[in-house]
Amino acid sequence: MRSKIVAGNWKMNNDCKQTKSLVKGIKKTIKKLSLENTRVLVAPTFVNLSAAAKRAIKSKIEVVAQNMHQASNGAFTGEISADMLKSIDIKTVIIGHSERRSIFGETDELLAKKVNTAIEKELEVIFCFGEQLEDRKSDNHFNVVKNQLEKGLFHLESIAWNHIVLAYEPVWAIGTGETASPEQAQEMHAFIRNLLEEKYNTSVADTTSILYGGSVKPSNAKEIFSKEDVDGGLIGGASLKAEDFVEIIKAI
Ligand code: PEP
C-alpha cells in the first residue's frame, strides 16, 4: 500500500524563531489526529533544518531538505551535499522543484545527477515536475511530463523506486492561486502511473506515491485528495500557516 503524504515546502521563508514556532504549532494539533499510513513532511530552509528537527522530535513530522548538490563534496561555494544532510539526520530531499528549474536553471540532466547521488546516499527523493501553461494550452502537457520523467528518473533500476516520491506540479498552478481541477490532477496522475507500469511493473506503479502541488489550500484539498491516483500534496503558501496546513492534513 502506498503512503499518503502531505509535505510543506517553506521555500525561503521563516527565520529560526518562526520555523520553531510553526513546527510547534503543527505538532500540537496533529498529535490529536489519527494519521495511519499518512506522512507529514516539512521542508524548511537549510539553516533551519536542525532547529526544526529538534522541535519535531516525538511527533509525526518529518523534516526534509528543499534541495542538494549532486557532488559529494568539494569547491562548490554555497552548496549542500547529501552527506551533510545525512549528518543531521535528514532522510528526504526535494529535487527538481519548478523554482529550481526556472530560476536557478536546473536542467533535466542535472536533476538526473542529483537523483543519482541522493539514491546512492540512500536519501528518499521527492521529484518535482510539471508543465508550463503554454504546454497545457497547446495540449502538450502529457509529452512534457513524460519527457521530464524519462530524463530525470527512468534510468533508475526498479529497486531505486522504493526511494522515490513523485510530485506533479503544473507550473501554472504554483503560487498563482489557480489550481488544476481534481479531474485534471487525476488525469495526469493516472497517466504517470500508467507510464510507471509500462516502463517498470505493476509493483512500482502501485507503490509509488504521486503528490499533487499547485495552490492546494484548505478549501480545495479534500476534493483533490479524493481522487484515486492522488496520494497527497506538496504545499507551498498554505503550509506557512499551521492552521491551514493542519486543515490540509485533515483533508487526507
Ligand atoms: C510549491 O511551491 O511546491 C507549491 C505547490 O506552492 P503553492 O502551494 O504555493 O502553489
Concatenate the DSSP letters of all residues of 17-28 into one string: HHHHHHHHHHHH
How far apart are alpha carbons 100 and 136 in whole angstroms? 21
Question: What is the side-by-side strand order in the sheet with 124-129?
Answer: 61-63, 38-43, 4-9, 232-235, 210-213, 164-168, 124-129, 92-95
Query: Would residue 69 show up in a list of annotated catalytic residues for this protein?
Result: no
| Backbone dihedral angles phi then psi of residue 102, each to the nearest 5 degrees | -85, -40
Query: Would residue 106 show up in a list of annotated catalytic residues for this protein?
Result: no
- Which residues touch 150 (CB under 8 Å, ≥6 apart)? none
One pLDDT digit (tens) per residue for the chain, 252 residues = 899 999 999 999 999 999 999 999 999 999 989 898 999 999 999 999 999 999 999 999 999 999 999 999 999 999 999 999 999 999 999 999 999 999 999 999 999 999 999 999 999 999 999 999 999 999 999 999 999 999 999 999 999 999 999 999 999 999 888 888 999 999 999 999 999 999 999 999 999 999 999 999 999 999 999 999 999 999 999 999 999 999 999 999
Report the separation in Å between the CA atom of 175 and the middle of ligand 1, taken as the mean of its atom positions.
5
Closest CA to 180 of 224, 150, 129, 141: 224
Report the separation in Å between the CA atom of 179 and the middle of ligand 1, taken as the mean of its atom positions.
10
In the set 97, 99, 106, 141, the catalytic residue is: 97
* Closest CA to ligand 1's atom 2: 236
* Closest CA to ligand 1's atom 7: 236
Report the separation in Å between the CA atom of 89 and the middle of ligand 1, taken as the mean of its atom positions.
25
> Is the CB of 175 inside a 6 Å radius of any atom of ligand 1?
yes
Please report the atom of ligand 1 found closest to the CA of residue 217.
8
Cell of 183: 479531474
- Which residues touch 158 (CB under 8 Å, ≥6 apart)? 200, 201, 203, 204
How far apart are alpha carbons 46 and 19 in whole angstroms? 11
In the set 99, 106, 131, 169, the catalytic residue is: 169
**Would you state the torsion angle of the CA atoms of residues 42, 61, 233, 127, taken in this order, to the nearest 10 degrees?**
60
Identify the DSSP state of 100.
H
> Is the CB of 237 inside a 6 Å radius of any atom of ligand 1?
yes
- Which residues touch 137 (CB under 8 Å, ≥6 apart)? none
> Is the CB of 179 inside a 6 Å radius of any atom of ligand 1?
no
